[in-house]
Structure 1
């Protein structure tokens, strides 16, 4: 009887991973087109990004694009060749686990920066923004945080040996190596402390995001009620109350009232746009939490038990694989949220597409 090898094992596993591999290709393809379009439009047509409340969108699009290309192809390569015959790929395994986590944490830092930026714009508009030296200090501190959280991943990652029984050939087993947690650190005190640290950090991160956006949402609600209660229209006249003063703006009564009216309408329009952007970022952050939480939970489970995914039946394995790669959906779907909520971006990309069609 022919010996059962690791190559035979990967061939058996191939039919099981085809649906998930197709989904990964869709994530990469759609996300690549979407995020590339975002970067192109913001680079060419929306150069006022630093003064329009959209400061972090191009940076987030770049982060999503890099994460999709790197983590997406790593996940795809893992799906195609899950098991290794030797330990030759140890260094590559460590680096892909380390860099993958770095990209995820950078994305999380951007979401926190967006939340803080929204909070300052909506809730503290008169607060002085940090100076250049303060921004540099924050950037260095963030870099140290990302590096400090990610380095243990490089240390604990490695190849773990597993014994797999063939599903098609009876009484055939083979030893193979799986990229994940180094078997020397599996379920050890240091590895478990690191897992707890990741979970606690994620909970604190999500709590801070929730608090910031609760304040943003409350402020938007208050401003909406303020505009409704202090602005009314009577006989083609707009009356706007501002504290103890009232400004009467009359249509067709000379250039000066028209100028004041234009400023007022522009302010209202800016207020509406800022609200749309705020709700966009809130929804994006919520989706980010929903998509990344399964990845964190499953990674912790896998680091404690190398057979966690292998001992499941086909349907359960498929569901867990989808959940494990769900974080890539978040990177792919963000450009569609930009197009839905940001009318200026939607108009710019529509003009570009129409021009290309002509």
Structure 2
């Protein structure tokens, strides 16, 4: 048994995980590269709502390249990792890209809150936005510095395989610092992440409340403008006149009774039939009013989603980020608590934990699809590039959203 055979045996059960990581890498680079090209090069109109998209796409592309490559290296070389410097560098870059993405989403949430809920506050200038993006990157780099001291190349001694009565020795990338320091750092990251999530939730809650109040106000105005007055022949006074005329006028029925004949219909039944028709006509009037209201609401809802599409888009991106990133934070915290025993589990359990641990990369992969779902201009530009039309498509998104 040699080191290469031992390494192959350990990496064999991670083939499925490696395939997923390769998909992350390919889709993430292509998708985010396309986003950067279209928003920076193809779209001539610089929109305030789209400013942060290229920056976020660049961070996503870096996270996909660094995170997927680093994870593949750990999977393929579990006991043959090539060097202490590479281990520290990859850990630092991977942590930086992840933290910068989350911090930028926090900045975007605050920006959208000011834009939707505080529209009269001075808008961020281009210089302010650039400083904010730069500050986001610097914050992520500073928060990632401890990884340089906590992680590195570790010697691994096999307790199963020997060569000439000497145990096999390999090297992997992992925690090299003290358990207390690792626990403190991961606990700080957990608190930082939870605080960011709370702030983002508060911002988008206020945004949602503002949008809801505007929608309800608009619906009330639509209802007031579409109220149909009651028909004259269905008014209360008209119904009363009908009843009086039926009671006071001598009818043919009375004559028939006096002549010894039988009435064709009882009076009560006739009254009942008459009053059954009135609510039926009233129901039809209400139905027509409801149909008009629905028809008026359809273009209003389309205009609503067009107006607030960027707020909904960044809400969706943030929700996906939280869902994908929380498992990584929780596993890192548990790993720092149970340093010696956490990864000593059956292969199937390890595969599942690694999938959840690296699920954060999926957030960086799906963002281009979210842009395509919400931004019609981006979709048209993608179709233009794929189909290679001679004429550039007309920009369907001439209005700015919130």
The CA RMSD over aligned residues, in Å, is: 3.0
Whether 2:115 is the aligned partner of 1:124: answer no
Whether 2:323 is the aligned partner of 1:293: answer no
CA contact (8 A) 1:199 1:296 kept: yes
Which residue in the other structure is 2:71 paired with?
75
Q: For 1:218, which of 201, 206, 209 is the aligned residue? A: 209
Tell me the matched-pair count.
318
SS of residue matched to 1:50: coil
**Distance in 1 (alpha carbons) for counterparts of 2:186 and 2:114:** 33
Q: For 2:139, which of 127, 141, 145 is the aligned residue? A: 145
SS of residue matched to 2:179: coil
**Which has the larger strand fraction?**
1
Which residue in the other structure is 2:51 paired with?
55
Whether 2:109 is the aligned partner of 1:115: answer yes
**Distance in 2 (alpha carbons) for counterparts of 1:41 and 1:302:** 41
Q: For 1:186, which of 175, 178, 192 is the aligned residue? A: 178
Which residue in the other structure is 2:91 paired with?
97
- Compared CA separation, residues 138 and 32, structure 1 to 2 (3 A): closer
Q: For 1:283, which of 306, 316, 329 is the aligned residue? A: 316
Q: Which moved more, 1:171-180 or 1:30-39?
A: 171-180
- Compared CA separation, residues 140 and 59, structure 1 to 2 (3 A): closer
- Compared CA separation, residues 154 and 39, structure 1 to 2 (3 A): same
Q: For 2:4, which of 4, 7, 20 is the aligned residue? A: 7
**Distance in 2 (alpha carbons) for counterparts of 1:63 and 1:204:** 21
CA contact (8 A) 1:39 1:58 kept: yes
Please list, as runs of the form range in 1=range in 2, the aligned pairs for 1:162-311 lying within 5 A after superposition: 162-166=156-160, 174-182=168-176, 185-188=177-180, 190-231=181-222, 271-308=304-341, 310-311=343-344
Task: Could you tell me which runs of 5 or more consecutive residues in structure 2 were left unpaired when the two chains were aligned.
Answer: 228-298, 392-402
**Distance in 2 (alpha carbons) for counterparts of 1:28 and 1:133:** 33
Kindly state the Cα deviation for residue 46 of structure 1 after the two structures are TM-superposed.
Answer: 1.9
Please list, as runs of the form range in 1=range in 2, the aligned pairs for 1:14-33 lying within 5 A after superposition: 14-33=11-30
**Distance in 1 (alpha carbons) for counterparts of 2:71 and 2:389:** 34
Task: Could you tell me which runs of 5 or more consecutive residues in structure 1 were left unpaired when the two chains were aligned.
Answer: 236-265
- Compared CA separation, residues 126 and 267, structure 1 to 2 (3 A): farther
**Distance in 2 (alpha carbons) for counterparts of 1:340 and 1:41:** 15
SS of residue matched to 1:162: strand
CA contact (8 A) 2:79 2:156 kept: no
- Compared CA separation, residues 172 and 295, structure 1 to 2 (3 A): farther
Q: Which moved more, 1:266-275 or 1:99-108?
A: 266-275
SS of residue matched to 1:335: helix
TM-score scaled by length of structure 1: 0.79
Which structure would you say has the larger Rg? 2
**Distance in 1 (alpha carbons) for counterparts of 2:126 and 2:21:** 40
Kindly state the Cα deviation for residue 227 of structure 1 after the two structures are TM-superposed.
Answer: 1.9
